[in-house]
Structure 1
């Protein structure tokens, strides 16, 4: 998995939503402590440690797998000039046979990670209810550390473990991946205070942390990788080890009883729609019961969650159209997972050099999302010319962002010089403001029902996760075929991505104001 975070992931963290993943962790309603300006910092430190460790794993992993495949390739050809245990120069590994196999393995690993994380999101929300958030976070650190240790084992003990054994690492995501982690962090952050302004500032801290790590992470990964192949993985494990005591420093929240519906027929339909996605409140009778006493098997709630999601989507045409756009853009943005391999193969660069390019792209993302877009939105809202037209502004902003993404991916596909690639990445990064406008539409009167924000965002993130789930293997297949074509054909995944973005433009244009 390349070091470059997908634009959808980055922006999702920037939106102050109840949860940044497909299903929010239905952690019990905490008793909010008094605002404490120091209580957010353990969460920020945890985010830095975990996000930085992720970047330090994804970029060097490409080189480890590539090196193993490269060694096997030249051994089959009986290249006498290359010793069996020699570290083959990276430039010699950019041949088509090696790169196709690398693409297949990376595609399988990426798909496995998303699937495992997706499957355990709801079960881990029940674990958080019963055993606490700390248990979920400790479980979440386990697969991250294991995958780094496993990459070292597969890369170092090449006579004991086959290259394909690297696929076993992502299966550890059954203990929780990025979706589970982000959901837990946002639950903790929202529980720090009941004051809206204070909570908004806390979410701002979290978003800024993500921006900084996305900017600095690839540079650090590239620098350490250029010094020693195994150094980034050991730093990854060290950072995750430091995260263990950090979890103990997280603010404590007292558990309150889970509010559940004693009978599906006693509550009103409005109350059912207003309640949390995985926990309902019987407002008409004010009867509360503990979830584990009412439902010995909490996993029986999963079919109810699915039925409730379908009910919230049915009959809401604009919401259905917006969900289609989320799916399409998540599918199209899956091409960012290929950037490191694409840059390395097309220009015969080392993965370290490609990492520096990703940092340049992240710098544009940071400037755009943290400075430019917020000021534009603030200025437009204070302007009398567009006062009361926030919906039109968001639709226009979404369409412009997608069109910029179309231009960006086409430029990436056609770039055959360094300066052209750098300009293309900058243009592509300018389209990263898309979720700012689409997420705002979710909360607009055009889409949202009364008190349905939590459920709507859960459905949105589920849709985006499905888009990424389809996009990971789809883009891997396109990339393998692109390597076979060669030349301008290497840009095939980005040409297809541009077409998907164009379809998304027409979909967004169908939203009726």
Structure 2
């Protein structure tokens, strides 16, 4: 990291900023930048910890809440004598195919709904970021996260009033922003804080490792707390998100002023730029943000932005290749959403027991991304003698990570013993360094244009979200078919995932150096 007394050029972290840098320069003065101390990375890391931990505490018990409702309905219909006096059923009895298939469908629908809503609002939210600043966007992003935990509490407890399918209503609040908006903001801010390649790659590694540290602690914490009380993880999740709200205030502000100053100015909290980065330029400051107008004007702005997105991708063959690989790897990694259900069903474990297994997998991720990858990168770059060798390092790192993922996911698919699954998850976890190398490639001279990282990261996050959008229903369908088949058929989603990872590896080989 840079010293606290040092500063770097700051790039405003719009969630989606699609105008080509050359067209921006041709229509307005050079944008004003604010210089930020590297200490600004710490509020970002703290926010990431709080949000990811809250999400981890939500996901695992949600499976049990939905399963509990479905299980109660199943036995009430077919064998009421097995119901306990309070109407509940022991979790071990809920691993029957009928209950697990319904659970897979509901979880698939919820995941797809969340991703669709997130994807649809990403571009409109970029206008909000431009006018009101990124803090507002992240604050809005907390609303659906808090509401989904609260809704799980309501649906889980009011089973006499609300049907089980009411749980599907929760993800619709992603209309206020989801993972695409949040992640693109995090990656762009992280990139802005780095001075050069080694530091940027290390920062990406730190960001990824934070996620995996939480992935290590989160499932164990969720498993422990839900063992004490099923509703406790949801209350903890809500509390962490409430604490995260004031943390956002410590992030650098990016709100645009309605008019650009004639000479560049800098302040502690704001960055002013001439004209919007997204949408058509307006002749007067009061009309800069015609995306907020009612009527056809706003739609024309979004259409204009979409056309600029296409122009930014067109003609950049390497960028197109990398986007295809991002789509495929996001599609393949959708199998991780099923992992806790897969472990619980295949080995007839409780969700709390499966949560501890996920923590063991995350421990490998943490070690890889906090120790191994940064040291390999620094050792390789300190001894480089050939210009552009960092591109080769990223390329080889990406290919190796994908190859390891192929082997790991196929081992998960064929694991019918506990020790086999443990070994398979360790192998699979070794491929988790992939985002470090692929995100660094986006910023490298092989891909990036001058000052295009904001736009490129936004397009990457949209592409990854699109991959998740396709992957969520696909994996749910394959999982249901796997349950019907039974035995080795339970690994069907992971066999498909391995095939998709292999396709991604072949796509990456088409990069031109």
Q: TM-score range by the shorter chain?
A: 0.7 to 0.9
Aligned twin of 2:332: 332
TM-score, normalised to structure 2, is 0.83
Alignment of 1:453-464 (within 5 A): 453-464=453-464
Aligned twin of 1:406: 406
State the SS of the aligned residue for 1:467. Answer: helix
Return the match for 1:290 from 280, 285, 288. 285
Aligned twin of 1:419: 419
Aligned twin of 1:368: 368
Quick one: structure 1 residues 369 and 276, their matched pair in 2 at CA, closer, same or farther if it must change by over 3 Å? farther
Question: 1:365 & 1:198 partners in 2: Cα distance?
Answer: 20
Aligned twin of 2:176: 175
Aligned-pair distance for 1:356?
1.0
Aligned twin of 1:111: 112
Question: 1:114 & 1:36 partners in 2: Cα distance?
Answer: 32
Quick one: structure 1 residues 52 and 294, their matched pair in 2 at CA, closer, same or farther if it must change by over 3 Å? closer
Quick one: structure 1 residues 17 and 434, their matched pair in 2 at CA, closer, same or farther if it must change by over 3 Å? farther
Deviations 1:31-78 (A, max 9, x none): 6366384x5544443332222111111110000000100001000013
Aligned-pair distance for 1:293?
4.0
Deviations 1:246-293 (A, max 9, x none): 34455556643477xxxxxxxxxxxxxxx9852689xxxxx9963734
Question: 2:187 & 2:286 partners in 1: Cα distance?
Answer: 22
Aligned twin of 2:446: 446
Aligned twin of 1:223: 224
Structure 2 unaligned runs (5+)?
Answer: 1-8, 20-29, 261-274
Aligned-pair distance for 1:169?
0.4
Aligned-pair distance for 1:197?
10
Aligned-pair distance for 1:451?
3.6
Deviations 1:431-474 (A, max 9, x none): 11222222233233333334433323222222111111100100
Aligned twin of 1:65: 66
Deviations 1:169-200 (A, max 9, x none): 00011112222233445666778x79779996
Quick one: structure 1 residues 17 and 170, their matched pair in 2 at CA, closer, same or farther if it must change by over 3 Å? farther
Question: 2:13 & 2:496 partners in 1: Cα distance?
Answer: 27
Quick one: structure 1 residues 291 and 226, their matched pair in 2 at CA, closer, same or farther if it must change by over 3 Å? farther
Residue range with higher mean Cα deviation, 497-506 or 448-457: 448-457
Contact 1:30–1:253 at 8 Å: present in 2 too?
no
Residue range with higher mean Cα deviation, 77-86 or 398-407: 77-86
Contact 1:42–1:246 at 8 Å: present in 2 too?
yes
State the SS of the aligned residue for 1:278. Answer: coil
Aligned-pair distance for 1:398?
2.0
Question: 2:197 & 2:258 partners in 1: Cα distance?
Answer: 27
Q: Is 1:303 aligned to residue 303 of structure 2?
A: yes
Residue range with higher mean Cα deviation, 418-427 or 375-384: 375-384
Aligned-pair distance for 1:490?
0.2
Structure 1 unaligned runs (5+)?
Answer: 1-15, 260-274, 282-286
Residue range with higher mean Cα deviation, 227-236 or 459-468: 459-468
Question: 2:326 & 2:350 partners in 1: Cα distance?
Answer: 34
Aligned-pair distance for 1:126?
1.8
Quick one: structure 1 residues 426 and 30, their matched pair in 2 at CA, closer, same or farther if it must change by over 3 Å? farther
Aligned twin of 1:23: 16
Quick one: structure 1 residues 89 and 330, their matched pair in 2 at CA, closer, same or farther if it must change by over 3 Å? same
Quick one: structure 1 residues 417 and 56, their matched pair in 2 at CA, closer, same or farther if it must change by over 3 Å? same
Contact 1:31–1:253 at 8 Å: present in 2 too?
no
Aligned twin of 1:395: 395
Contact 2:206–2:369 at 8 Å: present in 1 too?
no
Aligned-pair distance for 1:377?
2.0
Quick one: structure 1 residues 481 and 219, their matched pair in 2 at CA, closer, same or farther if it must change by over 3 Å? same
Aligned twin of 1:81: 82
Question: 2:105 & 2:53 partners in 1: Cα distance?
Answer: 26
Question: 1:104 & 1:146 partners in 2: Cα distance?
Answer: 22
Aligned twin of 2:101: 100
Deviations 1:62-98 (A, max 9, x none): 0000010000100001331323633311110011000
Contact 1:18–1:24 at 8 Å: present in 2 too?
no
Question: 1:212 & 1:17 partners in 2: Cα distance?
Answer: 27
